[in-house]
A and B are shown apart, each in its own frame.
Chain A
């Protein structure tokens, strides 16, 4: 699986809650419509990123895992 993305965020080596906190800050600085490729090694980040996108309204376009690295493609949306 490969996706187009505009920017990258490395959260590898971080444990909860840092991947989510870093992602929130990073996405706040992005333009609406841009896609970030975020990588993490914390297995808890899988349900956490899904919960975060569900709550904030940003779009989790895709995610996968390879060799202990989780990759997420998140698109910044315009929130109501």
Chain B
């Protein structure tokens, strides 16, 4: 089976977890595949108006997070202190900027331009009290069957 489609589930809304779905979906279209990203649970945060560039990443329980100062090991438990999530997020954003990585809002704009289907999960929207107006334009709302119909034919699937 040669894949014609890429179906991705985006279930997490941290800064680091938001990138893979959008990078893969946009690149897939650039390589002549159709792409759909299904945003559910915390992934919905990525689609909220004005939120894409405000996503955070926490060092807590994330021992793979690189140390801010190479060679100086900060105990993971210190990530619990107030302000540490903001520090880790700021650090990650600085690294991204230095490496010329596109902002999430730019990747979303490219995704819409390339006709990537962005689908927001109706059920988890209801669970978390998120309304259609809270989300950016260009998003369809659907359920499991919507994603599965797309993914049922010649699709590569990923989950983040």
Q: CB of B100 within 8 A of chain A?
A: yes
How many B residues have CB within 8 A of the partner chain? 14
Q: CB of B65 within 8 A of chain A?
A: no
Question: 1/0 contact trace for A14-36 toward B, CB 8 Å?
Answer: 11111011011000000000000
Contact partner, B100, options A13, A21, A51, Cβ 8 Å: A13
Whether A24 pairs with B30 at a CB distance below 8 angstroms is yes
Question: 1/0 contact trace for B33-48 toward A, CB 8 Å?
Answer: 0000000000000000
Whether A55 pairs with B32 at a CB distance below 8 angstroms is yes
Whether B32 pairs with A14 at a CB distance below 8 angstroms is no
B residues near A21, Cβ cutoff 8 Å = 26-27, 30, 110, 114
Q: CB of B91 within 8 A of chain A?
A: no
Q: CB of B101 within 8 A of chain A?
A: yes
B residues near A13, Cβ cutoff 8 Å = 100
CB of B140, distance to nearest CB on chain A (Å): 22
B residues near A18, Cβ cutoff 8 Å = 102
Q: Which residue of A lies closest to B110 (CB)?
A: A21
Whether A15 pairs with B102 at a CB distance below 8 angstroms is yes
* Bound complex: CA A58 to CA B86 (Å): 45
Whether B31 pairs with A17 at a CB distance below 8 angstroms is no
Q: Which residue of A lies closest to B101 (CB)?
A: A15
CB of A20, distance to nearest CB on chain B (Å): 5
Q: CB of B99 within 8 A of chain A?
A: yes
A residues near B135, Cβ cutoff 8 Å = none
Quick one: given A21-B27, A52-B30, are A15 and B110 in contact (CB under 8 Å)? no
Whether A15 pairs with B30 at a CB distance below 8 angstroms is no
Whether B26 pairs with A15 at a CB distance below 8 angstroms is no
* Bound complex: CA A17 to CA B26 (Å): 8
Q: CB of B23 within 8 A of chain A?
A: yes
CB of B107, distance to nearest CB on chain A (Å): 8
CB of A34, distance to nearest CB on chain B (Å): 18
* Bound complex: CA A51 to CA B31 (Å): 9
Q: Could you list which residues of chain A lie within 8 angstroms of chain B, going by C-beta atoms?
A: 13-18, 20-21, 23-24, 42, 51-52, 55-56
